[in-house]
Structure 1
Amino acid sequence: MARSRFLPDNFTLTLVAVVTLASLLPASGRVAHFFEGLTTVAIGLLFFLHGAKLSREAILAGITHWRLHLLVFAATFILFPLLGLALRPALSLLVTPQLYTGVLFLCVLPATVQSAIAFTAMARGNMPAAICSASASTLLGVFITPVLVSLVVLPEGGAVASSSSLDAIGRILLQLLVPFVIGHLSRPLIGKWIQKRAAVLKFVDQGSILLVVYTAFSAAVIEGLWKQIPVSALLGLLLVCGVLLALALGVTTFLARRFGFNVEDEITIVFCGSKKSLASGIPMAKVLFASHAVGAIVLPLMLFHQMQLMVCAVLAQRYARRAVATTAAGLQGAK
């Protein structure tokens, strides 16, 4: 059982299979155009369903805990980009310029929603605050990430699809936020139906990501992705993702304790402040970057995503065991 925590989940194995398929049979010509259109529709449907699923109560719950939210947002949108830039001398020796651009893009992404909330629940943290922080991070990322891409990624030579951050924000609003808002407004009509059919949302969620990964890697393979990235750079990328995750977990834990948050709030800060969203990041990459560059740019995110799931699963169980031990000690003392 202990070893299973460190094994990739089924979705990660499927991602690897899709990358392999794109490497061997990349989509091109009319087939590529078909998949591009299908991917756009799938992403719009994904954010529509997420909007319909998220209740206003969940958005408002915990919103008054502003100190916690500020720390989470600072970790997500300030700490990570600073780490990516500060570690450039070391990172440049370990990865190719394309992969370093992907690392910077990873650093400017919003936090993930589902896994941050799930791990907070598993670790017995502050759930209302986790729901509020993770959801707000996703929504704010629609505006903040394109600006940070223009400030952090573009100066480093990222192959962006447009030099205007306002244009990028507009396209993200149209492709991601508009379906989300329409879905949320439709919640009174379809909210209960979606809540009872979580498998539908999961299928669309994972299916849209797989479509984007296939189209992105197909374009990248045709442009010679695997000829440009040596095995040593891939190994270096694993090390880079591990270092970034370790620093994020360490700094968020230190700051949570330094500012006097209780254990429940510390758990929320650690799990919300150290996550990066695959579900939001891959669609954003498709909008923000040139099609031939997306494959290499999302590769660091894919590796970081799996790494954060495995490490945080172990960390959440440690927090949960500590909470059980503390409760047991308190009951024993009461006797």
Structure 2
Amino acid sequence: MLARLFPDRFVPVLLATLVIASLLPVRGAGVPVAEALSTAAIILLFFLNGVRLPRDEVLHGIRNWKLQGGALLFCFGAMALLGLGAQAALAPLLPATLALGFLFLGILPSTVQSATAASSMAGGNVAASVVAAALLNLSGVIAAPLLFALLAGSEGDISGGAALRIMLILLLPFILGQLAQRWLRPWVLAHRGLATLMDRSAIAIAVYVAFSAAVVAGIWDQLDTREIALVLAAVALLLALAFGGAWGLGGALRLARADRITLLFSGAQKSIAVGAPLAATLFPPATAGMVLVPILVYHMAQLILSAWIAPLLNRSPEV
């Protein structure tokens, strides 16, 4: 039963992180220590991502320009506009930073592991899924903050200090990881379990620190039952539009079925692995916690939805 409800074991980890942050938020003298630990974890996360994402496969997969171009266009174009529309619609109904979180959700790149796993389970093009995930995440390190600054107006103004933090905490470790691939990638691939644990621990730490600050700032006092219901309903609508739109785009591009499945999961899924570190880099901790609420809900919901859709696609070739 639990395996069906939480097909990815990281979902209950995220839920537990939110509960712990709500009950035992970091306070006082512990805040600078927690923020330093979170920064170190984010640097390690992006270094490992740089080591792991294969340059050769990316260069080879670029030849499938229709699939990869469609994934880039949908992930950073259509989804960014959906996020912008959701922010505009919800701004009068929700706290400003929470509504801004829907735009933030829209500009994020796709997941890596879960999109590839869902594509494989559905009978998609697994090699193309790996390439799509790599391209989207390589592009997303630069494209996501630029898109956010472009679409968010004054709320997305990226100061010189924030831009420098993005360079030092996200981009530089990623580049160093890419340069170190020759020596470290075999070890990372041979110890996938340890690398995944380090990834997820880094994400959980970033979420805990950001959400702790939001709890201390009174997030649960600011949100009532109506607003929480609005967030859940808006995420459900975004999921329907994202998955339906990505599937429809694959059909419009007349992709082969396996490639269409790859576009579905690569285009519609969004990455908390990039979202949590980027929010911690762009926003003060209390603001980051509120901004992260939509992507946290979306991330957990997309894993459950993908686990339901993937076997259905595999069993029903005519769908």
1:152 aligns to 2:151 (yes or no): yes
Question: How many positions carry a matched residue from both structures?
Answer: 319
Tell me the TM-score normalized by structure 1: 0.88
Q: 2:201 aligns with which of 207, 212, 221?
A: 207
* Contact 1:123–1:318 (8 Å) recurs in 2: yes
Partner Cα distance (2:160, 2:81) in 1: 23
Query: Residue type matched to 1:153 in 2?
Result: A
* Contact 2:124–2:260 (8 Å) recurs in 1: yes
Q: Deviations over 1:172-227 (max 9, x none)?
A: 22212221222222222222221111111111111111111111112111211111
**What is the 5 A alignment of 1:95-174?**
95-155=94-154, 158=155, 163-164=157-158, 168-174=162-168
* Contact 1:95–1:234 (8 Å) recurs in 2: no
**What is the 5 A alignment of 1:25-64?**
25-64=24-63
Q: Deviations over 1:115-137 (max 9, x none)?
A: 11111111121222222221111
Partner Cα distance (2:87, 2:55) in 1: 41
* Contact 1:18–1:210 (8 Å) recurs in 2: yes
Shift of 1:8: 6.6
* Contact 2:21–2:212 (8 Å) recurs in 1: yes
Partner Cα distance (1:276, 1:288) in 2: 18
Partner Cα distance (2:239, 2:295) in 1: 12
Tell me the TM-score normalized by structure 2: 0.93
Q: Deviations over 1:260-299 (max 9, x none)?
A: 1110111011111101110011000011112220111111
Structure possessing the higher radius of gyration over alpha carbons: 1
Partner Cα distance (2:98, 2:5) in 1: 24
Q: Deviations over 1:95-132 (max 9, x none)?
A: 43332111111011111111111111111212222222
* Contact 1:22–1:218 (8 Å) recurs in 2: yes
Query: Residue type matched to 2:130 in 1?
Result: I
Q: Aligned-pair RMSD on alpha carbons?
A: 2.1
SS of equivalent to 2:254: coil
1:252 aligns to 2:274 (yes or no): no
Residues 1:298 and 1:87: Cα distance change in structure 2 (over 3 Å)? closer
1:18 aligns to 2:12 (yes or no): no
* Contact 1:8–1:306 (8 Å) recurs in 2: no
Partner Cα distance (1:230, 1:152) in 2: 28
Residues 1:52 and 1:120: Cα distance change in structure 2 (over 3 Å)? same
Where does residue 333 of structure 1 map in the other structure?
none
Moved more, 164-173 or 73-82: 164-173
**What is the 5 A alignment of 1:165-184?**
168-184=162-178
1:227 aligns to 2:226 (yes or no): no
Q: Deviations over 1:31-83 (max 9, x none)?
A: 11111111111111112122222232322232111121111111111111212
1:240 aligns to 2:234 (yes or no): yes
* Contact 2:6–2:12 (8 Å) recurs in 1: no
Where does residue 315 of structure 1 map in the other structure?
309
Shift of 1:24: 2.2
